[in-house]
Structure 1
Amino acid sequence: MVGYDPGAQGVALSSEEVALSGSAAGMVTRAIISPFDVLKIRFQLQIEHVSSQRREGKYWGLFQATRRIYTEEGLPAFWKGHVPAQLLSICYGAVQFATFEFLTEMVHKSTPYDSRKAGVHFVCGGLAACSATVVCQPLDTLRTRFAAQGEPKVYSNLRHAVSSMWRTEGALTFFRGLSPTLVAVFPYAGLQFFFYKVFKELLAPPPKAGESGGNLRSLVCGSGAGMISKTMTYPFDLFKKRLQVGGFEAARVHFGQVRSYRGLTDCMVQIAKEEGIPGFFKGLSPSLVKAALSTGFTFFWYEFFLDVMRNMKTRRRTNGLAKDPAER
């Protein structure tokens, strides 16, 4: 069960074990959903005037974009930026889930609120995601830069990217897009945990049925929660991506038009003026597929790894008790 549950039976896990489960869940999920992330970023960074009667961008559909990227850049292109993305997922999963479990436990012990309520999960999930975002933002910026570049590459590897960005743009460039990220991540993550909790309760089996199908239920509930929360907060993800590639315009020229933004407000105004309201939802289709898979698999693998660790601790404890009489 995600979140501190005072009524839960079984072996308690330490904060380190919870963090490890979150990291493992993020790592496995990232490897699965990386192609959808690359597609989403390519669409988000594409400039198209709302008044134009012809296609101005390089990509105009999910299957067309997939074919074009594969033809021009090869299969590995769908895992561009995978190293910083994996580091991001491992770091983000550890901080987010460890913080979430800590906050829900603190709510139970320090406040009159029930830590199992969906509303508590919304607040704790949002705060946990904000903590993880601040810690992991540099890795997110690196991931976006790698996914955004075509051929020839601007950055040959992670070390080259870090040194080049530090030298030419300064340390603050690693935190580009942080303001729209924080604005969006609280409701996005909060809604993920909120709807996950709601769906888990709606799809809970009868008391006598036990916990059969629990992991599959986590996948289904997480997928639904991910799609709803992503749709409701999507524009801020697009703003973040546009701001993160600021100063990176030279690598984007062959993809079409490029723009520079002075900040979040200027980014919103320029997009609304040139691309209209639909511009705020560019890349939504691959993003929804990614959100369904990402959130679903994250909760699935998180619950899976928690169960594995509980079973290991239970077996160790049982074996220890079994040995005691013989040792006396």
Structure 2
Amino acid sequence: MKSSGNTSNYKSTLFGHVKYEHLVAGISGGVTSTLILHPLDLIKIRFAVNDGITTTTPRYLGLRNAFATIFRQEGLRGLYRGVAPNVWGSGSSWGLYFLFYNTIKTWIQGGDVQKPLGPPLHMLAAAQAGVLTLTITNPIWVVKTRLCLQCYDLDTQKLPDAKRYRGMVDALRKIYMYEGIRGLYKGFIPGIFGVSHGALQFMAYEEMKNRYNQFRGVPINSKLSSFDYLLFAALSKLFAVVATYPYQVVRARLQDQHHNYRGAWDCTQRTWTYEGFGGFYKGLSANLVRVTPATMITFLVYENVSRFLLSLRIPVEDRSAS
């Protein structure tokens, strides 16, 4: 009796709802989509930081021109600059995000995964998961951005040693050495605002899944077809990107070694002054081309891997219960 009571109390706590399967499935989805679509992410970043003033950043006429120019000047390796921290960042971010989100969501549900939460609580769980994930992974995203932007100045002069990186570890070391902890957390504030992106996306994704299952007359956590997962993932991502893209531009510019802003507000003011409203949406087309299929791949892999792993847990729990 005492043991049963302790188990019940443990299950009622937040940590009692932690399931590693969501972490593994999220990592699997993030890594898979990143390896396939990294070149588009690199081009999106280069478009985002091009303010039309700084001469040390490359300029492209469009998505096709960017691909051709990078491949001609830097080769295939150039299209995969920053892929290592991107794999680490995307894998860890998606893994941690899904882990935190499902843990918080299940805790709010009181352990009843068939209990619908509604848009506000879905957004709350997603926002909390986003803040926790960003706090852990921001240094990786700074390194990824800088490696993606590492190129020679247009006057063929090399960047100074402090801003020239040989790889992920070297970038982490130099950023910490020359800029301290603050350098590793550049873009963190707009990143916090960007938590709204994940909150909107997960809210839309969960609501579409729940309402569709209710329409079918089955429990809200019932398995959907691959097409359904792909469709809902794409629609939720499009909704979130259009609503929150400006923060990604500001964040990328703050992390870019070629720019020197005093902070997020200074970056926002200068972008508005010199580029207007359109400056906050630079790279949007490349971003949509990249993130929409990336999200579809990530969510499809996550849903299938997590369900498979969780199905392995059931017999063990049944045996222990008996």
TM-score range, shorter chain: 0.7 to 0.9
Determine the structure 1 residue equivalent to 2:77: 76
Counterpart amino acid of 1:95? L
CA–CA distance in 2 between the matches of 1:42 and 1:216?
32
Q: Mean Cα displacement is larger for which, 306-315 or 225-234?
A: 306-315
1:192 partnered with 2:193: no
Alignment of 1:60-71 (within 5 A): 60-71=61-72
Aligned residues: 289
Determine the structure 1 residue equivalent to 2:11: none
- One of 231, 248, 255 as aligned partner of 1:237: 248
- One of 40, 44, 52 as aligned partner of 2:44: 40
1:118/1:193 contact within 8 Å kept: no
Aligned-residue offset at 1:202 = 5.1
Determine the structure 1 residue equivalent to 2:126: 125
Q: Mean Cα displacement is larger for which, 96-105 or 278-287?
A: 96-105
1:34-74 superposed Cα distances (whole Å, 9 cap, x missing partner): 1111010000111226xxxxxx9611211111111111111
Alignment of 1:1-328 (within 5 A): 15-48=19-52, 58-109=59-110, 115-151=116-152, 154-185=164-195, 187-201=196-210, 203-204=212-213, 206-207=216-217, 214-245=225-256, 248-249=257-258, 259-313=259-313
> Compared with structure 1, are the counterparts of its residues 14 and 183 closer, same or farther at alpha carbon in structure 2 (3 Å cutoff)?
closer
SS of the counterpart of 2:288?
helix
- CA-atom RMSD in angstroms: 2.8
SS of the counterpart of 1:71?
helix
> Compared with structure 1, are the counterparts of its residues 311 and 194 closer, same or farther at alpha carbon in structure 2 (3 Å cutoff)?
same
1:105/1:115 contact within 8 Å kept: no
Unaligned runs of 5+ in 1: 1-11, 50-55, 250-258, 322-328
Aligned-residue offset at 1:198 = 2.9
CA–CA distance in 1 between the matches of 2:125 and 2:313?
27
Counterpart amino acid of 2:260? S
CA–CA distance in 2 between the matches of 1:212 and 1:201?
11
Determine the structure 2 residue equivalent to 1:252: none
Aligned-residue offset at 1:214 = 2.0
Unaligned runs of 5+ in 2: 1-15, 153-157
Aligned-residue offset at 1:117 = 2.2
SS of the counterpart of 1:131?
helix
Aligned-residue offset at 1:92 = 1.1
2:190/2:264 contact within 8 Å kept: yes
Aligned-residue offset at 1:291 = 2.2
Aligned-residue offset at 1:213 = 5.4
Aligned-residue offset at 1:14 = 5.4
Aligned-residue offset at 1:140 = 0.5
> Compared with structure 1, are the counterparts of its residues 72 and 120 closer, same or farther at alpha carbon in structure 2 (3 Å cutoff)?
same
Provide TM-score, normalisation by structure 2.
Answer: 0.81
Aligned-residue offset at 1:139 = 0.3
SS of the counterpart of 1:261?
coil
Aligned-residue offset at 1:310 = 3.0
